[in-house]
Structure 1
Amino acid sequence: MANNYPKLHNAAWPGVVGKGGDSEPIIALDTLLRLTANAEVDGVKFDGIDLFITAPHFDIDSDKDAVKRMSDHIASYGLKVGSFVAPIWGGAGGGSAMGSAEDRKRFVEQVRKACAIGQQMRDLGIRPTGGIRIDSSVGVEAWDKNPEGNTKLIAQTFSEAADIAEDYDEFLVAEGEICWGGMHSWREMVKLLEMVGRPGVVGYQADMAHSMLYTLGYNAENDRILPKDYDWADKATLDAAYRKVADALRPWTMDFHVAQNDGTVFGSGDHEKTGRHCQVDDPNGRLDIAKHAGYWLRDRDGNLTKRMRHICWDGCMFPNSVMESQDTWNKVLGAMIKVREAHGWSE
């Protein structure tokens, strides 16, 4: 019998991240739902979609009637809902996790709103799996002015958010990405999670591509693992470096994004520079997607963890012409299926 877990999800936020303003237009949620639902490879389709809980996709201030309408709408495409991205940033109604008391209060309130929507969707049966994604909502330069004190503040904010999440029977996942202060290196990420100290409630969201950037020491030269003169043809050295990152963060990992990366950094719109996602079949992609996914989905001994009930594709800041092509999502689905064939299970 073919593996049917983890469930395969697409992500809605690439239609928003890096879009709008002077960049390309935001891609409507309905467009992404249609492309996701229509993707098919040898009779296999996406099981669901992960959502960005922000307008114009899905307003975090939606009332219960609006949440019910959105749930019914997504269900009409034959899709379930998984993880959320909570808009915890200052420009989206939140605030810095290491900012003023008011900033941190707004941060936690955004988490509360996302958790309430998540709980309602679980009750409605549309959302069987998934956590709430957060980050520190601050850049590395600001964090670096007082590393110890700022990490303590971020940990305090995450702990307060964890109390809220527990009330709603939700969990929070911190995105490891080089643009977020206090989370911009693998060592700092582990340190922060240990300081929060809420395993099972606050964990790590491993994006394959962003996590790979940790090996190169962007924004954290002291935590670089790969040598400065690293030759990408040396696959064994990359494997060892990447495994070191995965071994450190896997015990905390509660949400997983399949992705590809060319080892460079990029930003568009008002998004800070971060790992450059590239297309699944990009010849410059540095990852062996199915192989390196196993670094997160299996333990040190090669045993399946079965911790992630669903996995999600993440590909932000692609041109709209790429994202609005059905062929893009068929290729993505094909890669996701290979990950599940290699590291999935059947129930």
Structure 2
Amino acid sequence: MSLKLHNAMWPGLVGKEEGTDHPPISLERMLELTKNAEVDGKHFDGVDLFLFHPHTDPNASDDDIKRMADQIAEAGFKVGSLVAPVWPGTVGGCAFGSEEDRDNFVHAVAVSCKIADALKANGVRDYGIIRIDSAGGPADFAKDEAANTKLLAETFQRAGAVAAEHGERLAAEGEICWGGMHSWKHMLNTLEETGMPSTVGFQADLAHTYLYLLGYNAPEHALLKEGYSEEEFWAAYKTMTDALRPWTIDFHVAQNDGSVHGTGSHDKTGRHCQADDPNGKLDITRCSEMWLKDYDHRGIKHICWDGCMFDNAVLEQGSTWNAILDAMLKVQAAV
């Protein structure tokens, strides 16, 4: 069976602020933009959700979740993966922080599992994972890497046990702004220390993992130097994907122009650029193929586009989503 194609709803939230020229875009509007995308008569199959305001109240009632599920179903979509609100200031806390922080992190996963159960009960979710990260920065993590790796793994183990009770799996996103997963080596160490491959795995995002190669926030783990050749790129990409692919249980199609960007807690992270950006560094299809080898053996049933921090004017253009869908269809056909 071909991989289902999903669009992320969080580009309408990440980096958006009320009262500015880039306010949050409602879930209703993001669903509409996704539904309107079309390439040669083909459309998106579903959406992935960010479980936080204003799209989703983490403490929503069953009736609230049913209303959202009905709305998504009416748009013709299924729900795939869910982003848990694990960060300080939302529901959660740093996974290698204080005891209270770590308890809050596990609670955020439990809240997400409850919403996942409700979505399944309402018939709109049959596959996907719950996405997490460490909710702490590389600088804090570096203060004691050995101790923090142990704390991080213990928190992931506790959260993984909660997820397993609900029939869910957790995928830690490889993003350079999160301590303990800010390089491909740190990410691998965290997953191995957690030691729950059937429950806690990796979410590979093309834009974020590109910066793993260059060693942003962890120069000691760089696989490439600036000015690299194409041959050097593919050799490095193979090293990275061979190491992390066995853990990969969720996948984001994306593009990166080689720069970094961030707002708030998303400091110095991979800059997503548009799918057809002429400055894009990645062969989206070929890179995706390397992550998605034997995807069915790892329980992957869908792939999702991720493109955060675009201006609202870009997100409101139908051509933006058609270009994204076109890139997704090429990946689907290749794997």
Return the TM-score normalized by structure 1: 0.93
Matched, 1:257 2:252: yes
Q: State which of 7, 13, 16 in structure 2 corresponds to 1:16.
A: 13
Q: Work out the CA distance in 2 between the residues paired with 1:172 and 1:244.
A: 24
Q: Work out the CA distance in 2 between the residues paired with 1:82 and 1:304.
A: 15
C-alpha displacement of 1:269 = 5.4
C-alpha displacement of 1:283 = 0.8
Q: Is the 1:216–1:226 contact (alpha carbons within 8 Å) kept by the matching residues of 2? A: yes
Q: Is the 1:35–1:326 contact (alpha carbons within 8 Å) kept by the matching residues of 2? A: yes
Match of 2:136 in 1: 138
Alignment of 1:77-156 (within 5 A): 77-156=75-154
Alignment of 1:107-256 (within 5 A): 107-227=105-225, 229-231=226-228, 234-256=229-251
Question: What amino acid maps onto 2:281 in structure 1?
Answer: R
Q: Work out the CA distance in 1 between the residues paired with 2:21 and 2:98.
A: 31
Q: Work out the CA distance in 2 between the residues paired with 1:313 and 1:128.
A: 19
C-alpha displacement of 1:271 = 3.0
Q: Is the 1:266–1:274 contact (alpha carbons within 8 Å) kept by the matching residues of 2? A: yes
Alignment of 1:197-346 (within 5 A): 197-227=195-225, 229-231=226-228, 234-268=229-263, 271-298=266-293, 305=297, 307-343=299-335
Higher relative CO (Cα under 8 Å, sequence separation at least 6) belongs to: 1
C-alpha displacement of 1:306 = 6.7
Q: Work out the CA distance in 2 between the residues paired with 1:273 and 1:28.
A: 26
C-alpha displacement of 1:123 = 2.4
C-alpha displacement of 1:180 = 0.2
Question: What amino acid maps onto 2:3 in structure 1?
Answer: P
C-alpha displacement of 1:145 = 0.4
Q: Work out the CA distance in 2 between the residues paired with 1:270 and 1:143.
A: 14
Deviations 1:42-95 (A, max 9, x none): 111000000000010011101111111110011110111000000100111211
C-alpha displacement of 1:121 = 1.2
Deviations 1:122-166 (A, max 9, x none): 222201111100000000001100001011101111000011001
Q: Work out the CA distance in 1 between the residues paired with 2:233 and 2:257.
A: 13
**CA gap 1:293/1:305 in 2 versus in 1, 3 angstroms:** farther
The number of residue pairs the alignment matches comes to: 334
Q: Work out the CA distance in 1 between the residues paired with 2:265 and 2:332.
A: 34
Q: Work out the CA distance in 2 between the residues paired with 1:288 and 1:160.
A: 38
C-alpha displacement of 1:308 = 1.4
Q: State which of 27, 46, 54 in structure 2 corresponds to 1:29.
A: 27
Q: Work out the CA distance in 1 between the residues paired with 2:146 and 2:29.
A: 44
**CA gap 1:191/1:269 in 2 versus in 1, 3 angstroms:** closer
Q: Work out the CA distance in 2 between the residues paired with 1:40 and 1:306.
A: 29
Q: Work out the CA distance in 1 between the residues paired with 2:266 and 2:162.
A: 28
C-alpha displacement of 1:270 = 5.4
Q: Is the 2:113–2:168 contact (alpha carbons within 8 Å) kept by the matching residues of 1? A: yes
Q: Is the 1:17–1:271 contact (alpha carbons within 8 Å) kept by the matching residues of 2? A: no
Gaps (5+ residues) in structure 2?
A: none
**CA gap 1:12/1:38 in 2 versus in 1, 3 angstroms:** same
Q: Work out the CA distance in 1 between the residues paired with 2:286 and 2:14.
A: 27
Report the aligned-residue RMSD: 1.4
Q: Is the 1:96–1:138 contact (alpha carbons within 8 Å) kept by the matching residues of 2? A: yes
Question: What amino acid maps onto 2:318 in structure 1?
Answer: Q
C-alpha displacement of 1:18 = 1.0
Gaps (5+ residues) in structure 1?
A: none
Q: Is the 1:23–1:268 contact (alpha carbons within 8 Å) kept by the matching residues of 2? A: no
Q: Work out the CA distance in 1 between the residues paired with 2:180 and 2:297.
A: 27
